[in-house]
Amino acid sequence: MKKVLILIVAVICLVGYSLCDLPVHCMPDKTPGEWSFQLTEQNLSKEQALEKCQLKAPLTPSRKFTVTLSTPTLAKDESGNEGNWHNVYDQGFELVIGGNKYFAFFEYAEQGRTIVSKCGNTFTGLYHEAAVGPKKWGCYKATKTSKVEPSVFSINEPVSASNEIVTANEINKLADTWTATDEYTEDYESKLVPLRRFKALIPDNKLAIPIPAAINKDLPSTVDWRNVSGVNYVSPVRNQASCGSCFSFASTAALEARINIASKNTKHVVLSPQDIVSCSPYSQGCNGGFPYLVFKYGEDFGLQTEECYTYEAADTKCTKDKCPGNKRNYVTDYQYIGGYVGGSNEQNIMEALTHGPVVLNFLVYADFTRYRGGIYIRKSTVIKGGHSVLGVGYGEENGQKYWIVKNSWGGDWGENGFFKIRRGADEAGIESMGPSFATPVI
Ligand SMILES: *[C@@H]1O[C@H](CO)[C@@H](O)[C@H](O)[C@H]1NC(C)=O
Ligand SMILES: *[C@@H]1O[C@H](CO)[C@@H](O)[C@H](O)[C@H]1NC(C)=O
C-alpha cells in the first residue's frame, strides 16, 4: 500500500510542476526594454487586492509611469529612480522601484495545442509598498512600449513512456556512483501523465558533461545541516502525496530549517504547504508553482502553520484560519542565488548553503524516481518533468563532488527521504534552474 502511495506521489509532483504552472513561456532575454505600467490607486487592503487584481480582471487605471529594464537587473523609471527587476523563470517579472514592489504574470492565450505567449504584456498583477506585510495595495498591468512578436509554441506530443526501457537492473549496470531500485516504481511508466511543454524549455537533453568550474574561494569542504557538530537543523522529511505541491514543500522546508538555525534550535515551526496551495495568488495550487513566489507570498501575506492549516493534498478553497488571531510567519530578503535566473553557479550555491538550506530545482529524468542511494548522475536522456527540493549541504566522496538534497516523497524514498546528486556539472539543471532562498522573520 505504502509503495503504491509513493509511486502516485512521484507521478503527481512531476506532472504538477511541469504541466500546470501557467503555460506561458517568456525567457528573461525577452524582458529588457521600456515598459509602460498602468495602475489603479494604491488604496486597497490585501483582501480587496486579492479580489480585484485577479489575473484576468479588467483594469481601470488612474495613473501610469514608464520604466526601462536593462540586463541583468537594473531598472530606471522616467523620474530617474533606480530599482531592480528580474524574471520569475518564464512566468512573469518582479520590479522593485520607488518604494513599491510589482509582480504580474506574462499574458498568454491557448488555442488548442498552441500556446501564444505575449512577452510584451502582463495580465493584471498586484503592487504594494516594498515591505514585509504591506498594507497599501493596488492592481496594475504592464505593456512594453515597443512591439514584441508573440512567441508561439505547440504543446508537445506526449512523451512516450515506453521509448526508453529503464529498469533498476539496467540502471545499475550503467551507474557506478548510485543504485536504483524497482521496489517503489513498479507501475511508474503506466501511471505517467504526458508532459507537454518541456521540449520548448530544454535545449539539450544529451548526456553532455560540462567541465566543472574551479572553486576558488575558501569554502568549507563539507556542509551538512543535518549534522553540524552533531546537531540537526533540518525539519523532518514530509510527503506531499497526490498534489503537485513540491514547490511549496521545498520552500517551507527551507524556511523551517532557517528558523531552526536562527533560533539555535529553540524554535521549531512546521509551516503549512496547504495554505500556499489553497490561498496564494502567486501559484497554481496542486497544479504547480515556483518556490521564489512562495517566498514572495510569505513576505506579502505571511505563512500559516501546519497546525492552523492542515495539509490535505488537494485544491481546496481558501478558508479562514483555523487558529483565529494567530500570528502568521513572515519572510524577507527572498532572492535568486546570483540575483536572477541564470546567475547561479556551483560556487554561489555553496556560499549560500553555508548560511542555511536553499531551494534547488531540477529536471527529473526517467531513471531518477528509481533512486535508492549514492550520488545520482543521470543515465537516462528522457525528461519526465521538473521538481523542487531542498539543498541541505554538499560534500565529496571518492573524488566525486555532490549536493545533499531533501525530497518530499516521504522517508521511505531514497536515503531516508534524501538524495545525493553530482555537483559542479549542472547535473539535470540542479545548479541553473533558479535556486533561491529567503530569510524567515522571527
Ligand atoms: C480607491 O480610489 C478610487 C479612485 O479614487 C476610488 O474610486 C475607490 O473607491 C477607492 N477604493 C477604496 C477601497 O478606497
Ligand atoms: C555527525 O558528524 C560527526 C562528524 O562530524 C560524526 O562523527 C557523527 O557520527 C555524525 N552524526 C550522525 C548522527 O550522523
Q: Is the Cβ atom of 416 under 6 angstroms away from ligand 2?
A: no
Residues forming beta bridges with residue 128, ordered by sequence position: 101, 137
Percent of the chain residues past pLDDT 70, beyond the cut: 86
pLDDT of 192 higher than 70:
no
Q: Is the Cβ atom of 49 under 6 angstroms away from ligand 1?
A: no
Q: Span 253-281, mean pLDDT? A: 97
pLDDT, tens only, 18-34: 334 677 888 888 999 99
**Using an 8 Å Cβ cutoff, are 124 and 104 in contact?**
yes
Best probe residue, ligand 2, of 227, 232, 234 (max atoms within 8 Å of C-beta) = 227
Q: Is the Cβ atom of 230 under 6 angstroms away from ligand 2?
A: yes
Please give the Cα distance from 126 to 104 (Å, whole number).
Answer: 7
Give the per-residue pLDDT at 59: 94
Q: Which residues contact 75 (CB under 8 A, 6 or more apart)?
A: 67, 68, 69, 82, 83, 84, 85, 95, 96, 97
pLDDT of 186 higher than 60:
no
pLDDT of 193 higher than 70:
no
Going by C-alpha positions, the residue among 346, 167, 360, 335 that lies closest to residue 253 is 360
Q: Is the Cβ atom of 222 under 6 angstroms away from ligand 2?
A: no
Please give the Cα distance from 16 to 148 (Å, whole number).
Answer: 29
Among all ligands shown, which has an atom nearest to the Cα of 232? 2
pLDDT of 383 higher than 80:
no
- Lowest-confidence pick of 27-41, 45-59, 70-84, 163-177: 163-177
Q: Which residues contact 333 (CB under 8 A, 6 or more apart)?
A: 438, 439
CA of 186 to the centre of ligand 2 (A): 35
Pairing of strands 151-154, 114-122: antiparallel
Q: Is 247 exposed, middle or buried (0-12, 13-18, 19+ CB in 10 A)?
A: buried
Most confident range, picked from 58-67, 106-115, 188-197 = 58-67
- Tell me the three cell numbers of residue 440: 524567515
Give the CA radius of gyration of the chain. Answer: 21
Please give the Cα distance from 64 to 36 (Å, whole number).
Answer: 7
Give the per-residue pLDDT at 114: 83
Check if 25 is active-site: no
* Count of all residues that appear for the chain in the document: 442
pLDDT, tens only, 122-157: 999 999 999 999 999 999 999 999 998 988 877 655
CA of 330 to the centre of ligand 1 (A): 28
**Protein residue closest via CA to atom 7 of ligand 2:** 230
Residue 233 — very low, low, confident or very high, per pLDDT cuts 50/70/90? Answer: very high
Q: Span 288-307, mean pLDDT? A: 95
Q: Which atom of ligand 2 is nearest to the CA of 229?
A: 5
Check if 205 is active-site: no
Going by C-alpha positions, the residue among 213, 235, 215 that lies closest to residue 226 is 235
CA of 44 to the centre of ligand 1 (A): 8
**Protein residue closest via CA to atom 5 of ligand 2:** 229
pLDDT of 97 higher than 60:
yes
pLDDT, tens only, 404-434: 999 998 999 999 999 999 999 999 889 998 9
Confidence (pTM): 0.91
Q: Which atom of ligand 1 is nearest to the CA of 43?
A: 1
Give the per-residue pLDDT at 157: 52
Q: Span 258-270, mean pLDDT? A: 97
- Lowest-confidence pick of 183-192, 220-229, 291-300: 183-192
Q: Is the Cβ atom of 227 under 6 angstroms away from ligand 2?
A: yes
Check if 119 is active-site: no
Residue 318 — very low, low, confident or very high, per pLDDT cuts 50/70/90? Answer: very high
- Lowest-confidence pick of 149-158, 267-276, 296-305: 149-158
pLDDT of 208 higher than 90:
no
Marked catalytic residue, from 53, 246, 279, 286: 246
Going by C-alpha positions, the residue among 87, 143, 115 that lies closest to residue 293 is 87
pLDDT, tens only, 321-342: 788 778 899 999 999 999 998 8
**Protein residue closest via CA to atom 11 of ligand 2:** 230
pLDDT of 262 higher than 70:
yes
Please give the Cα distance from 312 to 15 (Å, whole number).
Answer: 18
